[in-house]
Amino acid sequence: MPESTPTDGGHSDLVAPHAEPMTRSSDAAVAERYRLLLELSPDAIAVHQDGLIVYVNSAALDFARLTDRDEMLGRPITDFVHPDELPHMIERIVSMGDEAGAATYPEEVVMVDAHGVSRPMEVTSVRTVWHDKPAYQVILRDITAQKAIDAALRRQAALLDHVSNAVIAVDTSMTVRSWNPAAEQLYGITAGDAVGRELGSVAGGNLDVQAAVALGGTVDQLHRRADNDRTFLAHISVTSMDDGFLIVAEPTRRPLIERLGTILAALHQAVIVVRADGGIELANPAAATMLGPQAVPGSFVHDLPLDFVDGESPIVRCLRTRTAVTDATATINIPGGERWLSCSCRPIDDDTSEAVVLVSFADITERYRERTRLAWDAVHDPLTRLYNRAGILKELESHMDALGDHDTDCVAIYYIDLDNFKLVNDSLGHAVGDEVLHTVAQRLAGATPRKGAVGRIGGDEFVLVTTHPKADPTAEIDRQIESIRAAIRPPVSVTDRSEPLTVRVSIGVATVAAGDRSTPADLLRDADIALYQARKASREPYVRFRTHHREELQRRQRIEEELRRALASDPSQLEIHYQPIVSTESGTLVALEALLRWNHPDLGAIPPAEFIPLAEQSTLIDKVGTHVLATACAEVAGAPQLRQVMLCVNASRRELTNEEFLRRLRDTCSQTGMNPRSLCLEITESALAPLESGLLNLLLDIRALGISISLDDFGTGASSLSELYRLPVGILKTAKAFVDALGENPNARTILAGIVDVAHAVGVRVIAEGVETADQAATIAAVGCDLAQGFHYGRPKPLAEILTGSPAISAMSETPDDARPADPDQIDTDACSDVRRPASPPE
């Protein structure tokens, strides 16, 4: 999912949703100030929509202990909520309703960062709109300092220990900060349990302190004891303070039932008072509406058409045990259809021996439906309607729990990845990509065994879970693999496209038997590791996880981390070696290609073939490229002998898509003294596919700086010779495979000669890469290759060895200064520079 901000052009109501209309310029200015406010906020801020994160600020990245926004964007918000908090999170979201701007009170929630570390945070959620769709904005704040303040307030509360009335101090959010011994006796809860909680949750009454102060500072309110849930009428005195309110409470003996009529008539909840015999003694007007015409004084509770989910009526239980029951769920069928109700019962202490119960009902039908929907959404993928990661892990856990200690079955998990799916999104658009994913999901569902489960756990990755006989799992796995491939094999038809798309998959398999101590997360990880091996072994139908695969992954992870550390704090481990590129006609040195070498203090020399692919798969390749470019330019520009030699540096797709890349090239040349005309960027075919207009414009801008461009490793990608005229390149470097085939394949020379002829026809020079023998050198010269590179001419070496070991360079150093061009712009770099080409391919 692409990174987005509240002002990136998509419609978002996060910015001043109720502001007066403004001009475009003032609107943009306000939006920019708001964006900066979000980014500079010390509070972590995130926006999630349909359960997925669509925006995070810098503080949110710090909270998650991540450095790249892409590592958070698109992930479920539930990934960062402690599992024990998920039900409460859903309840909070449901309670907000649908009104834009609705918000929850700040509440302490246990969150988890990207590494699974728990942290208590104060969380506030706000209902908002993101790109014209409902969303939630979440603000998270560290509450460590607040807890320290709480401790100080508890110490101050000791001063009130001698007061006979209950004295309670609360802050402006109605959180209890002080609770004296008299309050402990009145409410049946210790100060240690009361301080830090919201007053209403402790005393059982939602006290409106502002209204109480406005009415003279006193009010009578129904409260309850925490130890036995018995209610009593309290006389409350409220005094406003700078940082909150001081509350003095004492019980009043005024008969409760006399006052309930006035109080209950104003409530939207259904409230009834029930005697010990089940008779309804008091009912407010809302009771008849919610519970039906039977809910009137003189009727009995058993006459109400209630069906309690847990079986026993909470009203009967409360009458029998004299203990409170909260949030019991019931259904009721009344005109208009079935409704869901929440029922709470509390015994009333009215100075008589007769049991009396206060019962309240709240209509939770919409909340129940919303909770059901959210619970379903929490474990399902919104696009495919399959299980998501959380759902598939639950299914996997269920399958594993079903294995007995001596069961003969095993659980198998199939990790399925669509090959090269990114090309579909990049070239055809995400709408087509979503259509393909939906079709693949339906097909995989059809290939899933009856007791199995299938889910999409992110991007183009699917997981299928099933159970196989342990006696011969390989045969069962083979059959399941063929079933999956048979389902995927037919071409996928998409809207507004005549040609269907062919989808291929890579599959990793992991199994677990009874008695294995693996967790569902372990098994999913092992299948993911096997999938990685399957991608490398593209000709295999699937790869089954083995222990050595995990060891390989652990080495990959260590190498990636060590490379990150070397780039950040110890770049001396990274050394640039240079390989000569010579003229096939004269044999003179024309260019040097900069190649990175890594000598780790513990792991030794790490081959580029091992660490470069890891860097390309992460964000590190951009930092690697920056290091190589800056170091090589500084070294070569600092060697006067090389003023007539071109420096070739590789550039990756990720670097080309970095909006700072062009400025980086310009600044590097300026800071190192490197002449842009002496610099050549080598770019592979795959890095240019697909060739979007923005990328083509970047190549033209690079050429405008005077920097040459070489198409590297030609012949291994998807480019064709007929497309060369479209690219602003002046050099074509053939893949090493073409040179390797010389002398072995009778057609190799003809193919290489054809490439050279077509390249020359459009004004492009050709470098033959991988020349290792004299015969190969003679052949590539004979077919017309302009330049050559390979071990035959020299291995990659540090620049110092190149300068002292090359006769050609030694000759340059002996050339009198007046015989060498003083201005780098006078250097003849035609052998490595672009030339003007026709605007269309030759006939």
Residues 6+ apart with CB under 8 A from 586: none
For 490, the token pair is 């037919």
- pLDDT tens digits, one per residue of 442-462: 999 999 999 999 999 989 999
pLDDT in tens, 136-160: 999 998 776 676 677 556 655 555 5
Instruction: Note the pLDDT of residue 8.
Output: 46
Measured in degrees and rounded to the nearest 5, phi and psi for residue 401 equal: -65, -30
Helices (H) and strands (E) in the chain, counts: 28, 31
Q: What count of Cα atoms within 13 Å lies in the side-chain half-sphere of residue 553?
A: 15
Largest distance between two CA atoms of the chain: 119
Q: What dihedral angle (degrees, nearest 10) is formed by the CA atoms of 520, 524, 526, 532?
A: 180
What does R_g of the chain's alpha carbons equal in angstroms?
Answer: 37
Strands 574-583 and 505-513, bridge-based pairing: unpaired
d(CA 425, CA 436): 10
Q: Is 603 helix (H, G, I), strand (E, B) or coil?
A: coil
Burial class (CB in 10 A: 0-12, 13-18, 19+), 781: middle
The strand pairing partners of 121, in sequence order, are 109, 142
Please choose, from the candidates 675, 646, 681, the residue with its C-alpha nearest in 3D space to the C-alpha of residue 662.
681
Both tokens assigned to 529: 């590791």
Strands 731-734, 505-513: pairing is unpaired
| 238: its two tokens | 């409220």
Model pLDDT, residue 378: 93
Sign of CA dihedral 190, 195, 200, 205: positive
d(CA 229, CA 788): 90
Q: What is the pLDDT of residue 256?
A: 53
Over the range 524-557, which residues count as b (16 or more CB within 10 Å of their CB) and which as e? bbbbbbbbbbbeeeeeeebbbbeeebeeebeebe
Please report the pLDDT score of residue 797 as a whole number. Answer: 96
Alpha-carbon gap, residue 835 to 843, rounded angstroms: 19
Can you name the residues that pair with 209 across neighbouring β-strands?
none
- Report whether 446 contacts 487 (CB < 8 A): yes
Residue 733: other Cβ atoms inside 10 A: 26
- The residue among 201, 200, 155 whose CA lies nearest residue 179 is 155
3-state DSSP call for residue 277? coil
Tell me, what's the pLDDT at 24? 55
H/E element holding 614? Answer: helix 608-617
DSSP per-residue letters across 413-442 = EEEEEETTHHHHHHHH-HHHHHHHHHHHHH
* CA-to-CA dists, residue 424 to 275, 345, 436, 536, 689, angstroms: 70, 59, 9, 20, 12
> C-alpha distances in angstroms, 59 versus 39, 46, 52, 67, 778?
7, 9, 18, 11, 62
Task: Give the angle 685-688-694 at the CA atoms, nearest 5°.
Answer: 165
For every residue of 327-390, which 3-state class applies, written as one string? EEEEEEEECCEEEEEEEEEEEECCCCCCCEEEEEEEECHHHHHHHHHHHHHHCECCCCCCECHH
In whole angstroms, give the CA distance from residue 713 to residue 735.
Answer: 4
What proportions of the chain, in percent to the nearest 5, are helix, strand and coil?
A: 40, 25, 35
Residues in Cβ contact with 775 at an 8 Å cutoff, skipping those fewer than 6 apart: 742, 743
Q: How is residue 262 annotated by DSSP? A: H
Q: What is the pLDDT of residue 385?
A: 95
Half-sphere exposure of 193 (CA within 13 A, CB side): 12
Indicate if the alpha-carbon torsion angle 671, 672, 677, 683 is positive or negative.
Answer: negative
Helix H or strand E encompassing 83: none
Residue with tokens 């009834």: 272
Residue 810 main-chain phi, psi, to 5 deg: -60, -40
HEC readout, 751-812: HHHHHHHHHHHCCCEEEEECCCCHHHHHHHHHCCCCEEECCCCCCCEEHHHHHHHCHHHHHH
- Contact assessment for residue 94 and residue 370, using Cβ atoms and an 8 Å cutoff: yes
Per-residue pLDDT at 625 = 95
DSSP state of 115: T
Tell me the C-alpha to C-alpha distance, in Å, between residue 31 and each of 4, 41, 127.
14, 15, 19
Are 91 and 116 in contact by the 8 Å Cβ rule? The answer is no
Structure tokens at 770: 């991988």
Low-confidence ranges of the chain (pLDDT < 50): 1-22, 810-843
The CA distances from residue 356 to 267, 275, 307, 425, in Å, are 20, 5, 22, 67
The secondary element (H helix, E strand) that includes residue 76 is none
Q: So what's the pLDDT on residue 539? A: 67
Torsion of the alpha carbons at 726, 727, 728 and 731, rounded to the nearest 10: -130
Query: Could you give the angle at which helices 547-569 and 608-617 cross, rounded to 10 degrees?
Result: 80
Domains of the chain with bracketed CATH: 24-142 (3.30.450.20), 146-254 (3.30.450.20), 257-370 (3.30.450.20), 384-545 (3.30.70.270), 557-826 (3.20.20.450)
Q: Report the C-alpha gap between 413 and 448 in whole angstroms.
A: 11
Contacts 24+ apart (CB under 8 A), 371-379: 371/90, 371/91, 371/94, 374/90, 374/93, 374/94, 375/90, 377/50, 377/51, 378/51, 378/78, 378/86, 378/90
Pairing type for strands 797-798 and 787-789 reads unpaired
Residue 471: the pLDDT is 63
Q: Which of 226, 223, 181 has the alpha carbon at shortest distance from 205?
A: 223
Answer yes or no: are the C-beta atoms of 161 and 181 closer than 8 Å. Answer: yes
Enter the tokens of residue 396: 């996997």
Query: Is the distance from CB of 197 to CB of 176 less than 8 angstroms?
Result: yes
Beta bridge partners, 394, equal none
Supply the DSSP string of 710-738, one letter for each residue.
EEEEETSSS--GGGGGGS--SEEEE-HHH
